[in-house]
Amino acid sequence: MNAYLRARVPDGAFAEAAAFARGAALDWLFVAKAALAVLLTAWLAMRLGLEQPSTAMLTVSIVIHPHSGMVLAKSFYRALGTLVGCLAALAIVGAFAQQSVPFLLAMALWIGLCAGGASLHRNFKSYGFVLAGYTAAIVALPVVNHPQNVFDSAVMRVSEVLLGVFVAGLVSDAIFPQRLGNVLRESIRAQFAGFIVFARESLRGALPRGDLEQAHLRFVREVVQIENQRSSVVFEDAGVRVRSPRMRLLNHAFMAASTSYQSLHHQLNRLQDEAQRPVRERLMALAGELGAELAPVESAPLMGPQAEALTRRLAALRERFPASIAAQRQGLAGRAERLDFDTGAELIGRIVGELHDYAQAYAALASPQAARSPAEVPAPFSRSNDWAGFLIAAARTTATMLAMGAFWLASAWPEGASAMLIATAFSGVMATLPDPLRAVRAMLVGYAAGTLAGLLCSYGVLVRMDGFALLAASLLPFLAIGFYLMARPALAGIGSGYLIAFFSTLPLKNPMTFDALAAINSSLAQAIGVVCAGLAFMLFASASDSPWLQARLLRKLRLQVASVCRLPLAGLRQRFESASRDAAAQIVAHTRAGSAESRSLLAWSLAVQETGHAVIELRKALAATDAPAALRAPIESALAALAMFYADPGHERYRRARERLSAALDEARGHAPVMAPLHLIRLALLDQRSALADFVEPPPQENPHAA
């Protein structure tokens, strides 16, 4: 039968069907695990007599994720955020127990600060911040008329959340775990193999600027994604935790190699003129030598031994490379030609070294000795944060809470607190997503469906049931719908809205109270809260739809060059590479792919990478040689002009930077190590295909009286 099937169906279709079946099986495994965790939590919460088992169940549905590392990381930060939020609630209630206005003000300020703090982080830490904010409100608001109960309320909240967190972590990590560590290993392997193969293929010929931009976009995504996965996997796997410094080194090595590599291609692309043909051909010959060493590497399984072999080959190449450079340099007559050649040759030489380091870091990660901490302590992954983002997030959340709170106090709406809470919570949580308005819309759809499902389940099914087994049986189909939605990436937002609304509509309290009217009232209030969160996002711009914020992000990216000109050299390269990529990744997340903004961002990002990298090399070379003050002064003034241009690009500043660079180049003649990076900076500044094309004008030699 099997052979018959195989004979008829082409292999590709077979593999496709198998992959589809495997994906579907994983989805349903997730649904089963999530439902099991929710029901187990419900049973335990009932056994332990917690006030609101539905909060514990809600916690499970919030932290649950197909990969156990994500669950553990999110659980950790949810637990931490809840504890901090409870402490804040105790403090605020203790200070303003009898004053409603200062109470609301203090609460709104606290939540706003937490939402602002969340905007400074990219992983689950930001979720922890948001949670610390609105947990304070969740704990304090129900007891606002009986402040003496706030401690009990806090203890209950902590118990319910911790119970949910523990059960979710246990079920997802111990029963058929889908390890995030495997995903991370696969990402790292794909990054390595992808880069080596990309380098080998593109060393054969020219790479148009558009392809370079796409490659850069991919590298930026990979770097940030691996860093984020790494920060979650450390909760799942002790083996990864001890290897974590090496993974950071690997990521830094990758960033260094890819930046140098892009610089090389910019340099090759600039040598397109017929006059520069000899230089270009000699550089291509050198690059071909490197490409030949990369040739035996396949994109398929690329494991430790292969990487070690590559490391050895690259080490040998690094040894003999100066001789190759000298051989190619012979016969180049003109000074300009030699300068172009030296600049390119030094770049290739540096790429050989950096690829060697990258391959070595990769091989070391695979070897058993990787558990030993590396000799070099890796710099942390620097983030590029904007205080405007902090202030807007804080102001949005605080204003939402104050507006809803004022409405609540003025109208004495019984459910006003609930609407205020939901609006505040969502305006904090959604702010960290790329497109908050779309997320709010998905959440609203999910809310409508979840409320209907909850009402149907409570007053159509549960009223006829008795005992926990029947309760579980009647919840199961409704839960399965929600978790299946969560397992599909495109529908995850709707799924989580559905589950939140479902759990808050359920009458699962100790003791159970069936009150359809109260349930409908509170669902309505919560839906209004979600709508108000959406309004808050329309009023207070998020980076996705505000050109002003996008321009700020872009400025932040360009300022990386300015900081590279100024900051102390120690660890500067690693800081620059990670922060500039983090800045680029943020703008990528907030712009539509292929749009004009996205193209302009990528062009600027490439220019920043190349110039920043060359500036660091220049400063390193300057620090290594005991250059005379006569050389130092013009270079420093050129760097200052360059920093000013990148901080705020303009024609006047551009001209000054170019003039000072030329002057510095004249002074640097004869200092080869300083000369090459300086020349590269100047070439990058003059590149007509780069983001600076608007500023590159023909040399000012026309008649001054012509105008």
Partner 1 sequence: MPREIALLDALVPGLFLVFLASLALQWALDWLFGRFGLYRHVWHPPLFRLALFACVFGGLGLIAMR
Query: Where on the chain is the footprint of partner 1 (CB under 8 A)?
Result: 68, 151, 170, 173-174, 177, 236-242, 368, 371
**Residues 6 or more apart whose Cβ sits within 8 Å of residue 67:** 178, 179, 180, 183
Contact 395, 540 (CB under 8 A): yes
CA 582 and chain centroid, separation: 7
Contacts for 306 with CB less than 8 Å, ≥ 6 apart: 297, 298
Give CA–CA dist 462/681, Å, rounded.
Answer: 72
Contacts of 57 (CB under 8 A, 6+ apart): 38, 41, 42, 45, 164, 503, 508
CB of 324 to partner 1, least distance (A): 41
Q: Which two tokens stand for residue 679?
A: 């020349």
Residue 611's contacts (CB-CB under 8 Å, 6 or more residues apart) are 561, 642, 646, 681, 684, 685
Q: How far is the CB of 373 from partner 1 (least distance, A)?
A: 10
Cβ distance to partner 1 smaller for residue 169 or 389 = 169
CB of residue 166 vs partner 1: minimum separation in angstroms?
A: 11
In whole angstroms, how large is the CA radius of gyration of the chain?
30
Burial 615-647 (b: 16+ CB within 10 A, else e): bbbbbbbbeeeebeeebeebbbebbbbbbbbbe
**Least distance (Å) between residue 451 CB and partner 1:** 36
In the bound complex, what is the minimum distance in angstroms from residue 190's beta carbon to partner 1?
A: 23
CB 604 within 8 A of CB 558: yes
CA distances from 325 to 291, 296, 321, 330, 671 (A): 15, 23, 6, 9, 18
CB nearer to partner 1: pick between 172 and 251: 172
What does the block give as tokens for 165?
A: 């967190």
Q: How far is the CB of 37 from partner 1 (least distance, A)?
A: 14
Nearer to partner 1, 37 or 631 (CB): 37
Identity (one letter) of the amino acid at 319? Answer: E
In 3D, which of 91, 93, 136 has the Cα closest to residue 113?
A: 136
- HSE toward the beta carbon, residue 283, CA cutoff 13 A: 29
Helix or strand (DSSP H, E) at 447: helix 436-456
Per-residue tokens: 396:
């949005």
H, E, C per residue of 545-596: CCHHHHHHHHHHHHHHHHHHHHCCCCCHHHHHHHHHHHHHHHHHHHCCCCCH
Q: Which residues contact 391 (CB under 8 A, 6 or more apart)?
A: 116
* Residue 115 · residue 397 · CB < 8 Å: yes
SS (H, E, C) 158-177: HHHHHHHHHHHHHHHHHCCC
Residue identified by tokens 């994500």 is: 70
CA 62 to chain centroid: 20
> Toward partner 1, which CB reaches closer, 239 or 296?
239
Residues 6+ apart with CB under 8 A from 185: none
* 3-state secondary structure labels for all residues of 386-397: CHHHHHHHHHHH
